[in-house]
């Protein structure tokens, strides 16, 4: 579905939005999640883009999740929405760097690591429901792109906000978190809640037999 002509893309988005929100979330196995999304270059009118962003926001909240990329609703564009209230215990906040992230829109985002430090934590995905796995990601990244108004973004993020940016930007490149995950850490969401809810995955690593990545 990538490289749709603007008219076909407009019709596709209008059809999705006419069905109402929250929108259905595409599950792993759909090719749209495995193809690099097209850069947004005005293919949608300002009004339709605003409607799409609002529907993505509603869908993200309803899921619930802290991020949603356009391919996850079947739209092959480099767009994503993020928001995290970070309502977690203090020990989790400190261990994971999980601080509140206000609602924001990323258009054509990219990131690069600021240094070689990485952090490994359990992560899930709305397109891979029912499972979680440990993923090592850069602790700090430089985010570049645009917001929904076309204003340039160029900033550094750390901790959980950096993880969210990496996860959602990966979606736009056709990458799922399971591609980067430690295979032996894979767990059902129920088991993650019952057994592996500690602030860090060290206990899970010992019990499930995997090695936590070290910083570069």
Widest pairwise Cα distance in the chain: 53
43 vs 10: CA distance, rounded Å? 7
Given 168, 182, 194, 207, which residue is catalytic? 168
Helices and strands, counts by H and E, the chain:
7, 8
- Compute φ and ψ for 72, nearest 5 degrees: -70, -15
Catalytic annotation on 168?
Answer: yes
Q: For residue 156, how many C-alpha atoms fall within 13 Å in the half-sphere facing its CB? A: 7
Token code pair at residue 89: 């215990």
Give CA separation, 59 vs 63, 81, 126, 144, in Å.
6, 10, 11, 25
Token code pair at residue 149: 């108004």
CA pseudo-torsion sign 29, 35, 39, 42:
negative
**Among 119, 47, 125, 114, CA closest to 80:** 125
- H helical segments located in 76-158: 90-96
Binding residues for Fe cation, as ranges, are 125, 167, 171
The set of catalytic residues is: 168
């Amino acid at each position: 579905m990538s490289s749709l002509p603007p008219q076909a893309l407009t019709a596709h988005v209008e059809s999705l939005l006419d069905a109402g929100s929250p929108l259905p979330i595409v599950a792993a196995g759909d090719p749209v999640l495995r193809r690099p999304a097209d850069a947004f270059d005005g293919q949608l009118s300002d009004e339709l883009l605003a409607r799409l962003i609002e529907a993505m926001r509603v869908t993200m909240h309803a899921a619930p999740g802290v991020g949603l990329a356009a391919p996850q609703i079947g739209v092959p564009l480099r767009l994503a929405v993020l928001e995290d209230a970070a309502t977690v215990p203090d020990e989790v906040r400190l261990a994971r760097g999980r601080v509140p992230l206000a609602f924001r829109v990323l258009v054509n985002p990219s990131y690069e690591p600021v240094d070689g430090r990485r952090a490994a934590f359990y992560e899930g995905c709305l397109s891979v429901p029912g499972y979680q796995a440990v993923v090592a990601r850069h602790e700090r990244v430089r985010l570049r792109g645009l917001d929904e108004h076309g204003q340039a973004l160029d900033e550094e993020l750390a901790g959980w906000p950096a993880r969210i940016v990496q996860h959602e930007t990966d979606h736009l490149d056709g990458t799922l978190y399971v591609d980067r995950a430690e295979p032996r850490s894979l767990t059902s969401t129920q088991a993650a809640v019952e057994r592996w809810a500690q602030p860090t995955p060290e206990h899970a690593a010992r019990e499930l037999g995997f090695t936590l990545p070290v910083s570069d």
